[in-house]
């Protein structure tokens, strides 16, 4: 594995050299063969556990990155990688660089008293959820491996420990900019923005003095796109803090995430999200808010005059809502296969959502049934009968294909994920994971028997998720 250093020249104390702690008895539990192939990683089976537990030191030093974060709206100036080590970056077949990071690999200078460890369940959740999101076509960090540590981590109950290997086009967070801005490190901010532009937005490199404004605009555009794709598949991130928001527009941090089953914009599963800040339908507001925090951090790069910087950036921040509304409307039009655009479409969509919410209908299964109803006889809930008549008059011969590419047949349902985690925790492997990954390889068109992966009759009303520590 040929690693190149990352982030070491951004600013002093931005990337701190620090080595993963050795673990007692590393055991490879999950290995992402297709991702390994993409990076030409040819490591013998028996060496993988040692490398991706952090037990084997690499040719270049690992680093822990500093970042700040607004957590549930409250600012923490110094968070950082408290349980993660970035080994470096690796190049794929197209010369694109990818960060390779171990999570759960021991305490770092940013641990703030934490143990630097990760329990097995959350490690498996990160692997399965990120692979599912990737299969669904949502931009996301990926996972290369999960290695059991053979050690116990102590949470409310003792649990098996694990290390997950995360792969991302970068680990540059909104909180990374906040970290440098808080320290008044303008040079560091510039270095970080330049790196982010080079990695993620090469098309704006030549925008001269406007490049940092263009960067803000590009991040906003990608955040809008990301949240729309989350909402299309029913994903609730659960902890959209600024430290969990990547400027690349990839989904990161699968701690308390969950999938919405019965449709309701107010759906919240995270046990610590008491106010519903990160509810399903509030995700666009929060992504917008996070972009405003990025803008604040960029002020010194935009103008020497703070007021001028703010007035230059405000239109970009304000454009979030309009961009989102346009794409959100387009998303529903695609999910319903609408033919052209009609003045009455907003009403048609709103009426359906009210029916879904009122009857607690499953989001995924209902849109799948609507899609398949254009292809043959499908049993539909009675409450939808009148609405379906109206809707069908708005479809045409292209509707089925449009809908099929927007409405997944299978998603990583909460009860499936919990079952997979329980199998791993109890036996160290999961048969269900294999068959589930099989249907997920083609989540929009699969014709496999999906009975096992449909919504459960009892909804997820009492389902709770926890931060993956
Ligand atoms: P997260 O909730 O995973 O986004 O983490 C928020 C912050 O807490 C980050 O700075 C993490 O590095 C830190 N953190 C989470 N769990 C641990 C842990 N077990 N040990 C040390 N730091 C942690
Ligand atoms: Mg995080």
Ligand 1 atom at minimal distance to the Cα of residue 115: 20
φ/ψ bin of 95: left (φ > 0), alpha (ψ from -120 to 50), beta (otherwise): left
Nearest to 352 by CA among 378, 326, 380: 380
Domain residues for the domain of 262 are 174-333
**Beta carbons within 10 angstroms of residue 428's beta carbon:** 12
* Rounded distance from Cα 82 to ligand 1 centre (Å): 5
Whole-prediction pTM: 0.97
- Asked if 165 and 101 count as a contact pair (C-beta separation under 8 A), the reply is yes
| Exposure letters 340-361 (e unless 16+ CB within 10 A, then b) | eeeeebeebbeebeebbeeeeb
Tokens 């013998």 correspond to 44
Residue 106 burial (C-beta neighbours within 10 Å; 0-12, 13-18, 19+): buried
* Rounded distance from Cα 253 to ligand 2 centre (Å): 5
What residues does 173 pair with on adjacent strands?
Answer: 246
Distance CA(88)–CA(58), nearest Å, equals: 9
Q: What is the dihedral of CA 357, 361, 367, 370, to 10 degrees?
A: -110
**Beta carbons within 10 angstroms of residue 70's beta carbon:** 20
207 assigned to some structural domain: yes
Ligand 1 atom at minimal distance to the Cα of residue 71: 6
Distance CA(325)–CA(323), nearest Å, equals: 6
In the structure, ligand 2 is a single-atom ion and the residues with CB under 5 Å from it are 244, 253
Query: What are the tokens at 310?
Result: 């703010």
Q: List, for residues 302-343, the tens digit of each pLDDT value.
A: 999 999 999 999 999 999 999 999 999 999 999 999 999 999
- Asked if 115 and 28 count as a contact pair (C-beta separation under 8 A), the reply is no
Count: domains in the chain? 1
User: Between helices 283-302 and 186-200, what is the axis angle to 10°?
Assistant: 120
* Rounded distance from Cα 10 to ligand 1 centre (Å): 22
352 assigned to some structural domain: no
47 assigned to some structural domain: no
Give yes or no: 304 in active site: no
Nearest to 331 by CA among 424, 263, 407: 407
- From residue 132, give the alpha-carbon distance in Å to each of 135, 146, 368, 436, 444: 5, 16, 17, 9, 12
Query: What are the tokens at 292?
Result: 């405003």
Residue nearest to atom 11 of ligand 1 (CA): 82
pLDDT at 468: 66
Residues in the chain: 469
DSSP H helical segments within 183-265, as ranges?
186-200, 211-233
DSSP at 20:
P
317 assigned to some structural domain: yes
Q: Which of 83, 156, 242 to mutate to test the pocket of ligand 1 (most atoms within 8 A of CB)?
A: 83
If you write DSSP's letter for every residue of 93-158 in order, what string do you get?
TTS-EEEEEEESS---TT-TT----EEHHHHHHHHHHHHHHHHTT--B-EEEEEEEEEEEEESSSE
Q: Does residue 155's CB lie within 6 angstroms of at least one atom of ligand 1?
A: no
Catalytic residue among 18, 99, 185, 243: 243
* Rounded distance from Cα 243 to ligand 2 centre (Å): 6
pLDDT at 435: 93
Residue nearest to atom 6 of ligand 1 (CA): 79
Residue nearest to atom 22 of ligand 1 (CA): 82
Q: Does residue 103's CB lie within 6 angstroms of at least one atom of ligand 1?
A: no
To which H or E segment does residue 15 belong?
strand 15-17
Nearest to 30 by CA among 160, 161, 147: 147
pLDDT of the chain, 469 residues: tens digit per residue: 899 999 999 999 899 999 999 999 999 999 999 999 999 998 998 899 999 999 999 999 999 999 999 999 999 999 999 999 999 999 998 999 999 999 999 999 999 999 999 999 999 999 999 999 999 999 999 999 999 999 999 998 999 999 999 999 999 999 999 999 999 999 999 999 999 999 999 999 888 879 999 999 999 999 999 999 999 999 999 999 999 999 999 999 999 999 999 999 999 999 999 999 999 999 999 999 999 999 999 999 999 999 999 999 999 999 999 999 999 999 999 999 999 999 999 999 999 999 999 999 999 999 999 999 999 999 999 999 999 999 999 999 999 999 999 999 999 999 999 999 999 999 999 999 999 999 999 999 999 999 889 888 677 878 899 876 5
Query: What are the tokens at 383?
Result: 């409450």
68 assigned to some structural domain: no
324 assigned to some structural domain: yes
- From residue 349, give the alpha-carbon distance in Å to each of 329, 332, 393: 9, 7, 14
3-state SS assignment for residue 85: strand
Q: Does residue 188's CB lie within 6 angstroms of at least one atom of ligand 1?
A: no
pLDDT at 455: 84
pLDDT at 46: 87
- Asked if 288 and 321 count as a contact pair (C-beta separation under 8 A), the reply is yes
Q: Does residue 252's CB lie within 6 angstroms of at least one atom of ligand 1?
A: no
Q: Which of 82, 116, 256, 271 to mutate to test the pocket of ligand 1 (most atoms within 8 A of CB)?
A: 82
Q: List, for residues 156-190, the tens digit of each pLDDT value.
A: 899 999 999 999 999 999 999 999 999 999 999 99
Q: Does residue 82's CB lie within 6 angstroms of at least one atom of ligand 1?
A: yes
Q: Does residue 117's CB lie within 6 angstroms of at least one atom of ligand 1?
A: yes
Distance CA(395)–CA(372), nearest Å, equals: 13
Residue nearest to atom 23 of ligand 1 (CA): 82
φ/ψ bin of 15: left (φ > 0), alpha (ψ from -120 to 50), beta (otherwise): beta
Distance CA(189)–CA(446), nearest Å, equals: 46
Q: Does residue 69's CB lie within 6 angstroms of at least one atom of ligand 1?
A: no
Q: Does residue 80's CB lie within 6 angstroms of at least one atom of ligand 1?
A: yes
Nearest to 81 by CA among 145, 133, 144, 6: 6
Ligand 1 atom at minimal distance to the Cα of residue 467: 2
What residues does 465 pair with on adjacent strands?
Answer: 270
220 assigned to some structural domain: yes
Q: Interior CA angle at 197 toward 220 and 93, to 5°? A: 110
Q: Does residue 124's CB lie within 6 angstroms of at least one atom of ligand 1?
A: no
Distance CA(450)–CA(437), nearest Å, equals: 12
362 assigned to some structural domain: no
- Asked if 79 and 67 count as a contact pair (C-beta separation under 8 A), the reply is yes
């Amino acid at each position: 594995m040929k690693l190149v250093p990352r982030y070491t020249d951004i600013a002093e104390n931005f990337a701190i050299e620090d080595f993963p702690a050795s673990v007692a008895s590393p055991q490879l539990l999950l290995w992402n063969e297709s991702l390994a192939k993409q990076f030409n990683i040819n490591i013998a089976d028996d060496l993988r556990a040692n490398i991706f537990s952090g037990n084997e030191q690499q040719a270049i030093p690992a680093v822990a990155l500093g970042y700040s974060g607004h957590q549930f709206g409250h600012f923490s100036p110094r968070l950082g990688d408290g349980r993660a080590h970035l080994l470096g970056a690796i190049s794929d077949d197209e010369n694109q660089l990818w960060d390779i990071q171990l999570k759960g690999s021991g305490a770092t200078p940013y641990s703030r008293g934490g143990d630097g460890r990760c329990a097995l369940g959350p490690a498996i959740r990160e692997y399965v959820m990120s692979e599912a999101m990737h299969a669904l076509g949502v931009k996301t960090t990926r996972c290369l491996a999960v290695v059991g540590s053979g050690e116990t981590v102590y949470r409310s109950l003792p649990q098996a420990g694990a290390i997950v290997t995360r792969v991302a086009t970068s680990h540059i967070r909104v909180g990374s900019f906040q970290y440098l801005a808080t320290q008044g490190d303008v040079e560091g901010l510039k270095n970080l923005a330049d790196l982010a532009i080079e990695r993620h937005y090469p098309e704006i490199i030549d925008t001269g003095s406007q490049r940092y404004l263009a960067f803000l605009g590009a991040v906003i555009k990608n955040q809008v796109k990301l949240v729309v794709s989350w909402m299309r598949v029913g994903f609730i991130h659960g902890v959209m803090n600024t430290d969990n928001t990547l400027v690349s527009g990839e989904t990161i941090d699968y701690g308390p995430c969950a999938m919405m089953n019965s449709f309701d914009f107010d759906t919240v599963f995270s046990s610590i999200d008491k106010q519903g800040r990160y509810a399903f339908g509030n995700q666009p507001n929060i992504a917008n808010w996070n972009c405003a925090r990025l803008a604040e951090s960029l002020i010194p790069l935009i103008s020497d005059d703070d007021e001028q910087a703010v007035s230059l950036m405000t239109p970009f921040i304000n454009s979030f809502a309009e961009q989102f509304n346009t794409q959100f409307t387009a998303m529903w039009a695609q999910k319903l296969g609408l033919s052209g655009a009609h003045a009455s479409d907003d009403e048609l969509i709103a009426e359906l959502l009210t029916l879904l919410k009122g009857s607690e209908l499953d989001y995924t299964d209902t849109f799948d049934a609507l899609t398949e109803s254009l292809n043959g006889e499908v049993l539909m809930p009675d409450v939808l009968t009148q609405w379906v008549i109206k809707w069908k008059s708005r479809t045409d011969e292209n509707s089925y294909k449009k809908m099929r590419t927007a409405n997944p047949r299978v998603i990583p349902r909460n009860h499936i994920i919990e079952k997979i985690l329980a199998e791993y925790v109890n036996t160290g492997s999961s048969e269900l994971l294999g068959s589930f990954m099989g249907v997920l390889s083609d989540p929009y068109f699969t014709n496999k028997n999906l009975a096992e992966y449909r919504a459960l009759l009892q909804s997820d009303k009492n389902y709770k998720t926890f931060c993956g520590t």
